[in-house]
Structure 1
Amino acid sequence: MDESNITPNTSNQQLVLNGDNESATALLEKQSRRRDNLRDVTFLEYMTVGILCFVNLINYMDRFTLAGVLGDVKNEFAIGDDMAGLLQTVFVVAYMVFAPIFGYLGDRHSRRAIMAFGVALWSITTFLGSFIKHFAWFAVFRGLVGVGEASYSTIAPTIISDLFVGNVRTKMLALFYFAIPVGSGMGYIVGSLAGAAAGNWRWGLRVTPFLGSVAVALILWVMEDPERGQAEESQIKPTSYGDDLRSLVRNRSFMMSTLAFTCVAFVTGALAWWGPQYIFLGLTLQPDVDITIESVSYKFGLVGMFAGALGVPLGAALAQRLRPRWQDSDPLVCGFALLASSPLVYLGLITVDAHVALTYVLIFLGMVTLNLTWSIVADIVLYVVIPPRRSTAEAFQILISHMFGDAGSPYLVGVISESLKRSLSTNPSEQPSQFVQFRSLQYALFVTCFVEVIGGVFFLLTAMYIVKDKQKVDRAIAEADGQSREPTHRAAHEAPASED
């Protein structure tokens, strides 16, 4: 079923018969008014959002714990930058390949059961993987972690979309995506501190599995799993998977924003994986500096946490403030944020070997502007796609953004770095110097600045179509609701009068 081909049957849909998309939107908002008011949010709904945020937090803690101890991992397995980057690539490839499967299931089956299975899977495989001594098998278990995380990340935002609409949905999504940078930062911190305290980096991987067991219990026995489209009172029924995919490909706002978010994922993946290692190499070039990779990872994690704590809610607040004036403000905010982040990241990369404090400030500002996009992009996907198609849309976006984004960016940066080491070394047969290692990784990371500009352009292109695509969804929901009311409406008029 396409959003544009539902035939209206009732007087409520006369608005749509006249082609008035804005009136259809107004009708939908009137029907869903209760879900657009924070005062009417129930305790169970707050608990559900809290559980989703908690799981998202430990999800990203688990994902970046390894990055916090990457130097120790490289030393134990005796691998270079390319194989170190491959560890993250294996994880993301498994994550993106299984996302469409969970997206299909999430639109049709129990989301509670699917999410509980996924969290249990990545918790168990993370814990078991921490004992593996062989690099190839360790990489396999990192891939299994990605399978488990795909089930959760694909489905969780759609539960929020089915509980709330309008500004309340934006606020709840901002809270949900607030957990991503905070969890990522905590991953660096937990990995480095736990590894340093135990004298073994593997203990950093054994923290989140215990939290994951708590999350499984909360999902199964506390979290609410609403009907699909509940907040919007949507009566639209699921369609075939082929129809879903064809509709998404024709949805220009969805496709453009997905390509833009792919650039965000590319940059985030590369910087998150290589950031601590790069800063550590830069600091070792300065005289009389006694520094460890664990301390750098700790500081980098703090910077990431604070940048996310500011950037994600700031993006949501800007979106809420600007929407009443400009209906296409969401992609515009994201586009200009990426265009502003690019020079900040570049300056942060070139100052690390000379001005440490300035480097952290520039990286912080670059991350803040990058984080502005997270909750806004999620909101865009949810309001330009009809309710029974949203898990599939989330999965499709995960597949594309990770396939061409952070699935390859850590490995690509590592490969470029290794290639540059050979060209920059005076004697390629010898171990490259600290300066050569630093400079080669710096040049490799410059690619992120160009990708951010490309992402900004895609967001600006999204603004050209987003208003019309949102109105199509509002119209489809209003039409389907009217069609479902028609039999009752007709029966009420045709029923014989009761006899006294």
Structure 2
Amino acid sequence: MIGKYRWRIAALLFFAGMLNYLDRAALSVVAPMLKGELHIDDAQMGFIFSSFFIGYCALCFVGGWAADRFGPKRVFAWAAGGWSIFCGLTAVITGYVQLLVFRVLFGMGEGPMGTTTNKAITNWFPREEAGRALGLTNCGQPLGAALAGPIVGLVALNFGWRISFVVIALLGLTWLAAWLLIFKDTPAQHPKVGAAERDMIQRSREEPVIEGVQEHRSLASCIFSAPVLAVATAFFCFNYVLYFFLTWLPSYLMDFQHLDVKSMSIVGVIPWLGAAVGFLGGGIATDALGKKLGSVIAARKLMLVVGLGIAAACVLLTTRVSTLGLAVTCITVSSVFLFVTPQICWSLIQDIVPRNRVGGTGGFVHLLANLAGIIAPSLTGLLVQFGGGYNVAFMVTAAVCALGMVVVIVAVRGQQARHVPSTV
């Protein structure tokens, strides 16, 4: 390995993802307490969960475009400051409407995160390490969700649920200070990056294009191409399952499996640890499979199909088991295979569009994918309250996950990548 500074950047992005998902999962952990205090029912709680993604989706594409235009350092700095402040302000809410508004603003702060992370990795890592880098940095996200149970749950039990949001906000502002001190937009701008490491990253970043597609493409031609739309659909289906778990798993464990807050905080960690294994292992396995098959795109397609297919089967199986242990096992196995897929989606964007369109295209894909965050929590709340309960919600989630597998099989068929020297 030539040089190591890029892995410090990966560590920064890892902790950003951890904090991001700790922030997001916090509300779901305290939802049973909050619902009682503010007199909110399940359907209303679903709308509150979804309101975050209204703001989130609004800034996904803008954040990706801004990362291309202004660089990931400035975009991530503004985003992290925004989400930390509005997460902290959750502590002062007094009613349903106020909570809805704050969740939208909080979502706007987190909107640029995914695309800006992908842009930073595009700038800082050679192409052959993209899967590993994305797997490593993104595995911080489920670990953050895992930590939400014990950290937020125990703080809420001992000091009240409002204090937990203040603690998370302070952690976010601490990360922001580290980001401003350590990160630069490119290796060439950083005085601590050696010439060998800079050259190795630059040489590997030749422009990838798909056969039959013009090498110099507009942003519109990138985002509306069939492979990109297929990636967006697969990402949407992944996100539907993710946000179903992220928003409703604590309530499922308490309302359906009859756990108390303390037990839920411990048991709820297990699926997210499985997700971290999937994130990290999926990135390593995809890079290795690409070398063996001689095609990174074929490897990523195969891993997407396997991951989404097994995840769908395990989510559906959850409705057929009768004990807490078996239910948690099914959810955990589904999480392992489900979380193989998101870094593959991000890697495919790097593989099938020019480097100077990675941010904008990634933002568009992220926007479409995170519409699932608006749909899944609200639909689940309605299903739980009016549509047959948690088992029906699990069945719908499994069907959506299976849809993603089918789209990848059909729409990514036959794509081959070749490389041309970068003009960026």
TM-score by length of 1: 0.76
1:223 match: 183
1:311 match: 278
User: Of 424, 443, 458, which aligns to 2:392?
Assistant: 443
Residues 112-159 of structure 1 deviation map (CA, whole Å, 9 limit, x = unaligned): 122111101111111112111122111111111111111232212111
Where structure 1 has 5 or more consecutive residues not aligned to the other structure, the ranges are: 1-38, 237-241, 285-290, 421-438, 482-500
Larger Rg, first or second structure (1 or 2): 1
Distance in 1 between residues matched to 2:324 and 2:361, nearest whole Å:
42
Q: Which amino acid aligns with 1:330?
A: R
- Given that 1:334 and 1:376 are in contact with CA atoms closer than 8 Å, whether structure 2 keeps it comes out as yes
Distance in 1 between residues matched to 2:150 and 2:354, nearest whole Å:
39
Distance in 2 between residues matched to 1:87 and 1:231, nearest whole Å:
47
Q: Percent identity?
A: 21
- Given that 2:222 and 2:361 are in contact with CA atoms closer than 8 Å, whether structure 1 keeps it comes out as no
Distance in 1 between residues matched to 2:245 and 2:361, nearest whole Å:
26
Counterpart of 1:400 in 2: which secondary structure? helix
1:205 match: 165
Distance in 2 between residues matched to 1:390 and 1:445, nearest whole Å:
34
- Given that 1:158 and 1:382 are in contact with CA atoms closer than 8 Å, whether structure 2 keeps it comes out as no
Structure 1 residue 259 and structure 2 residue 259: aligned? Answer: no
Residues 328-349 of structure 1 deviation map (CA, whole Å, 9 limit, x = unaligned): 1211111122111122112223
1:87 match: 48
Q: Which amino acid aligns with 1:41?
A: G
2:267 match: 299
Relative to 1, partners in 2 of residues 1:248 and 1:375: Cα closer, same or farther, differing over 3 Å? Answer: same
Counterpart of 1:133 in 2: which secondary structure? coil
Within a 5 Å distance, the mapping from 1:59-138 to structure 2 comes to 59-138=20-99
Distance in 2 between residues matched to 1:138 and 1:276, nearest whole Å:
19
Distance in 1 between residues matched to 2:71 and 2:292, nearest whole Å:
39
Distance in 1 between residues matched to 2:99 and 2:152, nearest whole Å:
17
Distance in 2 between residues matched to 1:154 and 1:231, nearest whole Å:
23
- Given that 2:219 and 2:357 are in contact with CA atoms closer than 8 Å, whether structure 1 keeps it comes out as yes
1:187 deviates by 1.9
- Given that 1:51 and 1:219 are in contact with CA atoms closer than 8 Å, whether structure 2 keeps it comes out as yes
Superposition RMSD in Å: 2.1
Residues 187-232 of structure 1 deviation map (CA, whole Å, 9 limit, x = unaligned): 233221111121x222221222111111111221211211799464
Distance in 2 between residues matched to 1:227 and 1:111, nearest whole Å:
13
- Given that 1:69 and 1:297 are in contact with CA atoms closer than 8 Å, whether structure 2 keeps it comes out as no
- Given that 1:158 and 1:391 are in contact with CA atoms closer than 8 Å, whether structure 2 keeps it comes out as yes
2:129 match: 168
Structure 1 residue 345 and structure 2 residue 312: aligned? Answer: no
Distance in 2 between residues matched to 1:179 and 1:187, nearest whole Å:
12
1:456 match: 405
Judge which range, 264-273 or 314-323, deviates more: 314-323
Relative to 1, partners in 2 of residues 1:232 and 1:73: Cα closer, same or farther, differing over 3 Å? Answer: same
Counterpart of 1:268 in 2: which secondary structure? helix
- Given that 2:155 and 2:161 are in contact with CA atoms closer than 8 Å, whether structure 1 keeps it comes out as yes
Runs of 4+ in 1 over 3 A off after TM superposition: 227-236
Q: Which amino acid aligns with 1:212?
A: G
Residues 157-200 of structure 1 deviation map (CA, whole Å, 9 limit, x = unaligned): 111111112332221111111111111111233221111121x2
Distance in 1 between residues matched to 2:71 and 2:118, nearest whole Å:
15
Distance in 2 between residues matched to 1:246 and 1:389, nearest whole Å:
10
Q: Which amino acid aligns with 1:171?
A: R
Distance in 2 between residues matched to 1:448 and 1:235, nearest whole Å:
37
1:246 match: 221
- Given that 1:312 and 1:371 are in contact with CA atoms closer than 8 Å, whether structure 2 keeps it comes out as yes
Distance in 1 between residues matched to 2:409 and 2:396, nearest whole Å:
21
2:211 match: none
Where structure 2 has 5 or more consecutive residues not aligned to the other structure, the ranges are: 189-200, 209-216
Relative to 1, partners in 2 of residues 1:370 and 1:235: Cα closer, same or farther, differing over 3 Å? Answer: closer
2:247 match: 273
1:178 match: 139
- Given that 2:52 and 2:106 are in contact with CA atoms closer than 8 Å, whether structure 1 keeps it comes out as yes
Distance in 2 between residues matched to 1:71 and 1:450, nearest whole Å:
28
Count of aligned residue pairs for this structure pair? 401
- Given that 2:349 and 2:361 are in contact with CA atoms closer than 8 Å, whether structure 1 keeps it comes out as yes
Within a 5 Å distance, the mapping from 1:447-486 to structure 2 comes to 447-467=396-416, 470-471=417-418, 474-475=419-420, 477-478=421-422, 480=423
